Amino acid sequence: MIHFEWRARVALVTIDRQQRRNAVDAEALQGLTDAMEQALAGEARALVLTGAGGHFCAGADLKSGENETFVTLLRGVLDALASVPFATVAAVSGAALGAGTQLATACDLRVAAPTARFGIPAARLGLMVDHRTLQRLAALAGHGPTRAMLLAAEEIDAETAVRIGLAQRPGDLEAALAWAADIAALAPLSVAGHKLALERLLPPLPEDPEVTSAFRTAWKSADLREGRAAFAERRPARFEGR
């Protein structure tokens, strides 16, 4: 499900749930958590995160259900990608939707294959993503594209992602591994220090009771149940705002 291998000093982590376009469930998130710990223990100089079979990650596995455990595990993986003292590179092809975009934007750098597309289709399902994800996405893609992704459920293709800075380079997995190998040869204390400083440019988000209330309301709503049912039944959702 989650494969880990060393490419010299680069850790390669692959999500392999091809029957679900690499959509993640709680088990997969636990596997990613374990992979991050393995990379740390092995003193990785860089890490590449990718998906098997032509897709990066199509989001959360809605058939397995998202719950508080899932949300906690996902936040843990996102925080780990952002905080480990080495550069993390997302090698994105195909779908990077919902949790896939969250995983990609939690990485330091993104390499986008021609097939890559980024998006957070939460409004098509009746749910919300967390405030920290919105802060990070807006910082990377800009507020305009972020609003289009969240409020209109628009997707961003690879060419646009590179143009606006959401992705840093076009290319495939091998291009991402080559870039990671170059990064791994750089001074690790400089990379770690600059990464820490860059992360500190995103100020901690204070607890906002209105945002928290909106998040909880969405996750407990009849619309979310309808969104999941419509997804499973492959039909348009009929949202009622409750």
CB of 49 within 8 A of CB of 103?
yes
Tokens of 197: 């400083």
User: Alpha-carbon Rg of the chain, whole angstroms?
Assistant: 17
Q: What is the pLDDT of residues 135-165, one digit of tens each?
A: 999 999 999 999 999 999 999 999 999 999 9
Go through the domains of the chain in sequence order and give each one's CATH number.
2-172 (3.90.226.10)
Burial class (CB in 10 A: 0-12, 13-18, 19+), 232: exposed
Angle at 159 between CA 109 and CA 116, to 5 degrees: 65
**The pLDDT of residue 64:** 65
Q: Are strands 109-112 and 95-97 parallel, antiparallel or unpaired?
A: unpaired
Q: Is 80 exceeded by the pLDDT of residue 65? A: no
Average pLDDT value for residue range 2-17: 98
Residues making up the chain, counted from first to last: 242
Nearest residue to 37 via CA among 7, 68, 79, 67: 79
Tokens of 25: 């469930």
Q: What percent of the chain has pLDDT over 70?
A: 98
Q: Worst-scoring range by mean pLDDT, 83-97, 105-119, 194-208?
A: 194-208
**How many CB atoms lie under 10 A from the CB of residue 87?**
24
